[in-house]
A = this chain, B = another copy of it.
Amino acid sequence: MARDAEETRRRLLAAAADEFAQRGIAGARVDRIAAAAGANKALIYAYFGNKDQLFDAVFDALVVSTVADVPIDPADLPGYAGRLFDRNQTHPQALRLLLWHSLERGGMAALPPAVVASNADKAAAIAAAQRAGQLPDRYPPEELLLLVIGLSLLGSAELAPTDGPEALARRRDVVTDAVARLVAAGGGTAAGR
């Protein structure tokens, strides 16, 4: 077997992603990660520091990259929701890691700066679209962003299982349609209920 530190590191990270996504930080076992990666446990400490820093590395690689890789289009929020939905299907670990992070670390407030900044950018983009009249301004930008992201992740098979590809496609349609209704013109503001 060829010696390749970068490759070993990659295998450890992938095994850690599986373990953390499935069991969370407290439930994850360092020995199990090393065994799954076919590597020695000591390498985890050599490459990543400790268990918590290993989680951070996994989180950065999977969740932070998701936030960066799915750009928002304020003029087409249903499309954005659909893309987020799809990303969740192809990367089922990401949402679970986000939830573990929220529960075991200090909620969304403890998210990495990159994620916080990205959310602020997205909210700003929504606000600009609202000022330009492309988007109704009945919800504050942060609230609208929360609704759209929340609805997208809601459909994920993790929380509410769908069985079969046609059920999944229907779920996707429901989510994008729901977002479309939220941003449709007409009706009053939230306060005017």
Q: A-side interface residues toward B, CB under 8 Å?
A: 23-27, 96, 99-100, 102-104, 107-109, 138-140, 143, 146-147, 150-151, 154-155, 158-161, 170-171, 173-174, 176-178, 180-182, 184, 187, 189-191, 193
Known A181-B181, A184-B187; judge A173-B158 contact (CB<8 A).
Answer: no
A193: B residues at CB distance < 8 A: 173, 176-177, 180
A150-B151 in contact (CB<8A): yes
Chain B: CB-nearest residue to A22:
B103
How many angstroms from the CA of A138 to the CA of B190 in the assembled complex? 23
A102 to chain B, nearest CB (A): 6
Set of chain B residues within 8 Å of A176, measured between Cβ atoms: 193
How long is the Cα–Cα vector from A160 to B189 in the complex, in angstroms? 21
A41–B135 Cα distance when bound, in Å, is 57
Q: When A and B form their complex, which 10 residue pairs have the shortest distance between CB atoms, in order from nearest?
A: A26-B27, A150-B154, A26-B26, A177-B190, A173-B190, A143-B174, A174-B190, A181-B181, A146-B160, A139-B174
Verify A24–B146 contact, CB threshold 8 A. Answer: no
Contact between chains at A147 and B161 (CB < 8 Å): no
Nearest-neighbor residue (CB-CB) of A188 within chain B:
B177
Residues of B within 8 A of A160 (CB): 108, 146, 150
Asked if B104 contacts A158 (CB within 8 A), the reply is no
